Structure 1
Amino acid sequence: MLVMKFGGTSMGSAERMCNSAAIIRDRARSSRVGVVVSAVSGISNMLQDSIVRLFKETGTVTPAQFTREVKDRHDTIIADLASSVSEFSAARVQEQLAPIYTEYEQLLSASAAFGECPDTVECRILGMGERLSVPIMAEILSAAGEDLRVLDSRDYIITDGGPVREADPAFDKIENAFMPLRGSGETILLMGGFVSSDVSGKQTLLGRNGSDFSAALMAMGLDAKQLEIWSDVDGIYTADPRIVPDAELVHDISYEEAMELSFFGSKVLHPKTLTPIASRRIETWSRNSFNPSARGTRIGPADSIQYATGPGPVRGISCLSGVALVSVSGAGLKGRRGIAARVFSAVSRSGASVLLITQSSSEFTISFCVRENETETVRRILNEEFVHEMQDKLVNEVS
């Protein structure tokens, strides 16, 4: 069993969808395949922006206008496919997409009427991109005569806890849901990424760019031997080629190395993707749908990696943008037990995620990184936590 994931750029136009479908069909000749697709490139941003603009530009934009913009983008792709793909039925696809457009407009209208967009509603809106792209890809494959089954990700990717927009997967429930699909059955199983549901059936999400994570969970659930992540780059590089022009492609990398690079800014894989595939030792490839003949990067167990000239001190360099360094400092920190615990307990209450921690050797300063948009909340809560120490000049104002 092979699982494949195609990102937004691989789904960005009729031509790109057809190229992705050709790759799927090629793989399906020799194996059953599970396929996870993202939203059409740019649609997730359009959906997010519509929520922001709905309240920021009150009176100048309408839910109907936002719906029309999203529909127009998909209509263009569908029309191009209808004119270029034999047996492709635009009417059949539009019939499936129409209720999703209606739901989108209704959710925006209700949010505008109430003056807010609750998290549960926002989840439903943000997950519509994948729900819209699946029927289009399904029709391309069906028109080619492929043996296909479409899965609703909300029936298989089950979450249990965590924020609704970045929910925690319930691994045992996911395995149980996929279990009946193992073994014989349809040649191709097609599912949208990113979207999930909790144990009560309420829609949740796996976090932005979570389609990689969906594919890894599908690979785990189907007991796949291999996972392929198809994007618009040839694989994992020693650095971001947009920043370092002479960065080189890494041919083989361990799960642990890939996890570190993805966590600290590499855009090739979603940071959480490695957890389920590493635990099952699923061989994973990062490949380019625009250059399918390229070798790509293989990600596997450390004991299976063949280093050409030894592992070397550095495997790759990555960077994070939109990150702020927060520092708690003062003479009162040195030698006092429980300070670090208080710092990170307070940060936990803020809901922020700590990306990096460092402490000066003098114990005078504890510094850590959070997302830039979380900075003010973290600073406020820390200043409240250490208000008495600040009054006694033992701790400085958090910077």
Structure 2
Amino acid sequence: MRKLWKKLPWIIAGLILLISLFNPSLLPWLLLAAVLAACLFMPKRGLIGPVDLPADDAFLPTEQVQWWYWTGHLYAEDGRRFGFEVVFFSFDSFVIMRDQLVQAAITDVDGNRFVFEEFVEFHLPQRGKNGFNLSSGSGNKVTAVGGDGHDRLHAAVGDYVLDIELQATQPPALHYGGDAHPYRFGGYTYYYSRPKMETSGTLTIAGETFTVSGNSWFDRQYGELYQAIQQGWQWFAIELADNRQIMLFDFKGNDSEVEKSGSITDAEGRTVTLAAHEFQVTVLDQWVSPDTGCSYPSGWEIEVRGEKFSVQPLLKDQELHARHGLWIGPVYWEGACDVTGAVGGQAYVELNGYCRCPAGNGG
């Protein structure tokens, strides 16, 4: 029954097309009936109250756009270093426009390689309670199962296979105080993170398996986010060696007139919001992709409440630029970085909108 319900919008669209071929004069009435049906059966849109955990780890049918987003830094027993990204985007635009975009990437720092995979699923995730069970790709190449701060990820990316478990070791960071945040340019977001997730498991490379461990950062965001996606942003997930985590973003680079914000989580897991005047991001260099010709910031100086940090990519080329036949996926840069300065550490940075092609996360 659940599988039939997922396919219902496509069945309806097929019936409308079939009937209109035999009797074109009925097409306007059929489209009107489809719109009315969508209004009656689609979930109510809009604000749903403050973040409620672990309930909001699950797929939320009231929200147009939402994502589950993991990035992390992993180390093999011999010291070899890796970064990873796993993300499930869900888009519910209309009764027949319901899909998921799924991406996974591995940064092999010592091997000087960056590989990624992308999949499109023409259905929404299954509803759950207090958690998620997400999968995509032939043979479930990318899966994410969990909730309430205990997740399991699997990703087959080229000749890399990642299997890890993640356990949150501090309370979630509720951005904007856990309530809805309206954007000046339209739309709104709910946004929380689990920036300290102890991670362990295996990474298999061309048949050779390495035991890996490290830390992962989980971002969950949902709301009316199409306007934000169109703006483009820089997003920083900074993990400092003194056990603090800093999240920063600014739309359209350093244009504070559009919007920028952030948060800082202390060693005890207490999160406070950073106002726009409390931090500054300065781009130090640019990198031009040999694959797309797009130009991205590459290296940043960041000042947060008087502390200065330098953030540098571990590899220049960490650009995702997938293609699916006639359909072109989003093009953006998301990569593992080193942090030096007042306190050392590591970071993940996302650059969306620099190819004039939307992606998602952050903000």
TM (norm. structure 1) is 0.26
Return the index of the structure with the highest Cα Rg: 1
TM (norm. structure 2) is 0.27
Larger % of strand: which? 2
Larger % of helix: which? 1
Greater relative contact order (Cα 8 A, min sep 6): structure 1 or 2?
1
